Structure 1
Amino acid sequence: MVPPMMSSQEKLTSLADLLAFYAEAGVDEPLEELPVDRFVAAAPTRPAPTVEPDPQNVPPPRAYAAPVVPDEGQAVLARERAAAANTLDELKLAMASFEGCNLRLTAKNLVFADGNPEADLMLVGEAPGRDEDIEGLPFVGRSGQLLNRILAAIGRDRTSAYIANVIPWRPPGNRTPTPIETEICRPFIERQIELANPKVLITLGAPSSRTLLRTTEAITRLRGGWRTFTTQSGVEIPTMPTLHPAYLLRTPAHKKLAWRDFLEVKAKLANLT
């Protein structure tokens, strides 16, 4: 049976669905200006006649910057760069010029922070997503909108909180950062927390909580209980691990758990002032 012809509207809807699928999979950029017919490109062709090059006209080989192979040495270098930064502006410049993490090669922007660096509350997530990579700011997509509403519920907004991520560059396709990528970026976020020096820290989600609190516990066991983040200089910051806004969007029934955590944070801040 011959399938019915699609209407123009159906074709547009089908194309929109396909593009949405690609975007969800992380395929959000064209590689070339025009589409390429790979079947034609793969067709066998006759080999071109061999021509001996003229030694006088051979151009010099192009120099390509080979990507750095991530290893422990890059983590050591990151610690040195982070420790040398005495202000948040210096730290941002150090991160922007750091070439030891290959995530920067595929990201559009360094996502350093948003909000007020002098605030008494700091929140740290895992890594930027597509929207964050485009705007160069953390938590600006759907997760960020939910985070804004949660902050508003405890009388806060981005002028009274400081927001960052453990990983400052978007992993390709929003994949999970590798352990070595996390270790390379760890010194930067730890120094960022130390320089911001908040009274209370919130770690959003399992990856951020495990990285900063150096634990392997599940977030369901971590959340809701006060922990301590200790800076390199020995300052202890009360830390509340909680559920990530992206998880809450997928599991709205658990918003009540995050709400309890944020009420604990509100009470803690009130007692510390």
Structure 2
Amino acid sequence: MPTLYDLWLQTLNRHADAVAVRDAATGEQWTFSALHEEVAMLPPLTPRQVHVATVRGVGGARQLVLECLRAWRDDAVLCPVELDTPPLLAEAASQRVCFPPEICHIKFTSGSTGQPRGVLFRGDQLAADGENIRQTMGLDVSCPNLAVISLAHSYGFSNLILPLLLQGHPMVLVPDPMPSSKRQAHALGIRYTVPAVPAMWRAWHQAGLLKDAPIALAISAGAPLPLQLEEEVFAQAGIKIHNFYGSSECGGIAYDASPNRGAMPATPARPCTGRG
């Protein structure tokens, strides 16, 4: 069975000269080959050791992509975190806790139902989640993902990093989800896919940013999407927000693929591919 790094090499072979990551604020862009070359310059990690990768400061999102590839290359156990390393994880990293050979990734849950906890994943589970999301949502590589959610969280990792590295789906970086950053993305003159959360959709709607926005696919997850907000956005901007439901423990679960507003009053319409 191919490893995640093997799958990355296949992506690299298919999309070597295509733009992989673009920074909307600076205009900088990196091809898939350029990312691979940067990773080749990073020193090797200890195999099977926990590798904590943080999203911190300017360039943190792109650096997380590089650290992900580095961990895959060196057979380390990747654990993305937003800012600070949880104490339990710091202890595991310092003591060089050995995980079963098939484990390659640790996700830390949000803690919404109690204390945050680490969930262990095999590479084939991550790859399956990314592929199921791609097929379910019908992701189009001509419409890059706009990275307004955290790449370290389960939602961002599965919807942004996995499609980028395993399927060649490009990503556009913005400094934050604020309206000013959203305008920077609009100025690129390309249509893009936007995985976001209800609070972001509400803020952009109230700021009047969604009318005539070049959004090819609008996705909402992380919390229930209010039906009233969905209807208001559709009425003002003609954008159907597709509600997505998943969890850190098992990835994507269900997705509202309907093109019509109001199709999903409380829960997503159908299971994701692979869960039917």
Q: What is the TM-score when the length of structure 1 is the normalising length?
A: 0.30
**Greater helix fraction, Structure 1 or Structure 2:** 1
TM-score, length-scaled by structure 2: 0.30
Question: Higher strand proportion, which one?
Answer: 2
